[in-house]
Chains A and B, each alone.
Chain A
Amino acid sequence: MSEPKLRKVSDFLWEIPKEGKMRVPGRIYASAAMLPDVTRDNAHEQVANVAQLPGIVKFSLAMRDIHWGYGFPIGGVAAFDVQEGIISPGGVGYDINCGVRLLRTDLVRKAVQPKIKEVVAALFRAIPSGVGSKGQLRLSAQEEKQVLTEGAHWAVKNGYGRPEDLDKIEENGRMPGADPSTVSAKAMERGRPQLGTLGSGNHFVEVGYVEEVFDEELAKVLGIFKDQVTITVHTGSRGFGHQVCDDYIAVMLRASQKYGIELPDRQLCCAPVTSPEGQQYLAAMACAVNFAFCNRQMITHWTRDAFEKAMGMSPRDINVQVVYEVAHNIAKLERHTVDGKEVELCVHRKGATRAFPPGHPDVPEEYRSIGQPVLIPGDMGRYSYVLVGTQKAMEETFGSTCHGAGRVMSRHQAIKSARGRALHRELEDQGIFVMASSRETIAEEMPDAYKDVSQVVEAVHGAGISVKVAKLRPMGVIKG
């Protein structure tokens, strides 16, 4: 498949026809202008490979921010019949439940901008970040197991944040079915010191403000208004999730042989959802999902604290509240309507966000009239978006949409092109103050290394699988 055969379905949707061993066609949400990005790194071939896996339903999907991943493309969505289909750790990714939480405040930009350096410095001190960052708390093995089953609830119970925070998290911050006995000692050991840490790479805490509101009514329901100061947290399950994925790829390589599943790429290794291996992975993955929920809840707590201290204001005056939190690397058992029938599916979202429509019971009650909030972070120099899910997403993409900008430069290229530039200064000139554990991180993560997230958002908005609510502009960022 060196020459991509892509058939245009609409201005924002392209189809890879079913051929060879593909069980279903592939579909990519992109505009014509962005297609060369997709085919350049052969991500469309990965969409076709996923279409070969047993039990896949309707389409092997890719969102606009699709790029080459390991086995499964990043930006991929694939749903498998629970009875006949498979589950694959590669379809979730190494950073299980990597996700985004958006916080809002009662403050406006004018109040925070003059103190942004103090705020960022306070956040940087309060939230452990960088390669191999270790947390402030020393968990016992028993406590770690509680984190794995209780998720963000463990954090709230132990004084990190407020009970009402939990209502605004996917799965209410606790995924059922987590069983610590399915997790290796290595994963436990890798995870324990890293709870309550940001990590490195593209993870961040960003202070921003609402630059533009696209839909006043939707924004009002979310408690969002123009010039309001917001905080975005992007991190995942740290070494714990990496190790769970690693362990289960080894399990699934054996399982694929055992169940006679033909793999176009070893990284797609999998097992039937109903098999012991499939069930064990689901239970271990849920542990990592809960680790990440707990991690972001703890970081929220320190963020509140640091913000209040730096601003010299009371919690009531700042009023940091959770707008919502989404997971963008996850597999979930969900009910969907396929060919007029309701079926249970195992939906894999790898670099894709759930985008449930208005009225769906899994959307928090407060937001049920407008649909589930979708949070799409961009690079640190430009902007991020808030959207909501739609009925069309439910019908076309198993209630899914894009998750971010996607890189255009490799990390090495970015560092090379940053040579001789004062990135700190360039960003400060644009009103963005950045602190990072290493200079290289800023170079690797510089805005030029990423696609313009607005194009990604326009594609999913144009295709009707989510609706734009607001655009956020960064003022201060901490990076790992």
Chain B
Amino acid sequence: MASRRRIELLDHTGDVGVRVRAADLPQLFTLAAKAMFQIICPRCVVRRVLTRHVTVAGEDLAQLLVNWLSELNFWFCTEQELYGQFRVSSLDGRSLRAVVAGEKVDPRRHAIRTEIKAVTYHKLYVSQQENGWEAQVIFDI
């Protein structure tokens, strides 16, 4: 694990995705969210000024991942909130609860790069590996 990068940005002709690896599911979902905000705002420093409680459900882990990221993107799109800290308090195959912390976009400090239209199901997976978990998700941007 140590030799492999935990967040890998995927770069296709028309879109962008991420592959993340972690020891357990809460870490995996945290990394996926971090990766998404790296795409939205690369190298952004996000202060912890506000918190938001997030609860999402899904039919399986893969849909749960899509719904989790979509929920965070919804708050970015509507309230211009960026998050830098993600605390997943419970996660089973069908639901996730978390508290996320961040701040509203400050144009003086945050250079927003990309608008994510949606988190897609294309080539999506969450899978258990020998020594942890791996997930891949592709964004429509």
Contact = CB atoms under 8 A, between A and B. Distances in A.
Interface stretch (A113-121, A375-383, A403-411): A403-411
Contacts of B63: 250, 253
Contacts of B16: 410-412
Contacts of A69: 14
B66 to A, nearest CB: 8
Contact of B14 (A199, A253, A269, A410): A410
B115 A201 contact: yes
Contact of A189 (B9, B78, B115): B78
Contacts of B15: 70, 410
Interface in B49-94: 59, 63, 67, 70, 74, 76-78, 80
A235 interface: no
Interface string A82-123: 000000000000110000000000000000000000000000
B83 to A, nearest CB: 15
A200 interface: yes
Contact of A199 (B12, B105, B113, B115): B115
A245 B113 contact: no
Interface residues of A, number: 40
A412 B42 CA distance: 12
A249 interface: yes
B138 interface: yes
A421 B66 CA distance: 37
B68 to A, nearest CB: 13
A95 B117 CA distance: 8
A71 interface: yes
B111 A438 contact: yes
Nearest to B59: A253
A440 interface: yes
Interface stretch (B24-32, B95-103, B119-127, B128-136): B119-127
Contacts of B114: 131, 200
Contacts of B112: 131-132, 438
A239 interface: yes
Contacts of B121: 70-71, 249, 253, 266-267, 269
B11 A413 contact: yes
Interface in A228-253: 239, 242-243, 245-246, 249-250, 253
A190 interface: yes
B3 interface: no
B141 interface: yes
A94 B14 contact: no
Interface residues of B, number: 32
Contacts of B76: 132
Interface string B104-118: 010000011111011
Contacts of B12: 41, 68, 410
Given A201-B141, A266-B121, A266-B124, A131 B113 contact: yes
A428 interface: no
A132 B77 contact: yes
A95 B74 CA distance: 16
A98 B36 CA distance: 24
A71 B14 contact: no
Q: Which of B15, B16, B120, B138 lies at the interface centre, i.e. has the most chain A CB atoms within 10 A of its CB?
A: B120
Contacts of B70: 246
A94 B113 contact: no
B14 A67 contact: yes
A347 B13 CA distance: 26
A200 B115 contact: yes
A55 B113 CA distance: 41
B140 interface: yes
A335 interface: no
A376 B43 CA distance: 37
Contacts of B111: 438
A13 interface: no
Contact of B118 (A201, A245, A265): A245
A70 B120 contact: yes
Interface in A435-454: 438, 440
Contacts of A246: 70, 118-119
A131 B115 contact: yes
Contacts of A50: none
Contact of A94 (B67, B77, B80, B140): B140
A152 to B, nearest CB: 23
Contacts of B122: 70-71, 265-267
13 contacts: A67-B13, A132-B105, A186-B74, A199-B115, A200-B114, A243-B74, A246-B118, A246-B119, A250-B63, A266-B121, A410-B16, A411-B16, A440-B113
Q: Which 4 A-B pairs have the closest CB atoms?
A: A266-B121, A70-B122, A242-B117, A131-B115
Interface of B: 9, 11-16, 59, 63, 67, 70, 74, 76-78, 80, 105, 111-115, 117-122, 124, 138, 140-141
